Chain A
Amino acid sequence: MSQQKEWPLWEVFIRSKQGLDHKHVGSLHAADAEMAIQNARDVYTRRMEGVSIWVVESKHIHASNPDEAEAFFDPANDKVYRHPTFYEVPAEIKNM
């Protein structure tokens, strides 16, 4: 087994209150998930910023490639008809 010295890196996600999504807030080092959650509490919620914490080891995050962002998100680019403002509604029509 390789002699790993540095604690692995974890990404931290916090739900600020019930009803809202967990949101990425930053990262930290910890030996395991339990310690990562405790450290996340001390580092990222000293002022009641959260009611729930997720941690994910950074190596498990897969991301889209920013260099290909333009082509990757292109399919949504020319479909203005997906937005309600595309449609004309007569002034007489209410509640639409």
Chain B
Amino acid sequence: MTADKQQQLSLPNLVSSEWLKLRSLRSFWFAAAGVVLLTAAGALLPALFFTADNPPTEAEAPLLVFRFGAMGGQIALLVLAVLALTSEYSSGSIRLTLVAAPRRLRVIAAKAVVVTAVSALLAVVSLPVAYVVCVPKLNSLGLHPASRSIIGGFAAHVGYLILVAAFAFAVALAVRSTAAGVGIGLGVVFVLPSVLSLLGGGLHQTLDKLGFTDAANSLFYSHSSIGTLLTDAVTVTVWVAVPLLIGGMALVRRDA
């Protein structure tokens, strides 16, 4: 019962705890390895179909490699971001967390910081790996993209992957279930763009931009005007903020 003023609940301490919580589980390392592998596999897919008859331009090539890499990597990243929260609900350990840190929104803030930082780190590691894997194929086609287009494509997709993780985390907070979180996350990222495109075609409207994937992708590299940029930013914010608000309110009001 010795009083130690240093030992107090604080956001930095919570972040440290959440980071240890994540890295002390094997499933985290499997998911992290999955991000790197799926990003590389995703990037290789378009590279395999690049031919001498129909090669991409040197500006397009890195963008295509990173885009398909991110499409692959986002599957594992989405699962990781969902599991970071729902594994606590499925095991019941969320109760221990909330007894140790009864200010619940601070716990969620600490988790969000860790999930964002880990996603950024994984994106920063996995996208270059994926590009390096594709370099021999690009070189064989005589493609030597400029550093600027490589760095531009890389940065844009790091940003995109962070947004995917943030969205998955928000959905997990709202639904508190791994199956529902991953299902909704993958549905919105992979299936919804096609559904919106079909619906838009039928209604003669451009609905694609209302989807999370399109808005998050174009937010970083295809802003033709400030208006488009703002529209994309608002769309992505709504996709992340709505589940975050629903989940946050339930977390504060409900019994743990």
> Do A and B belong to a common assembly?
no
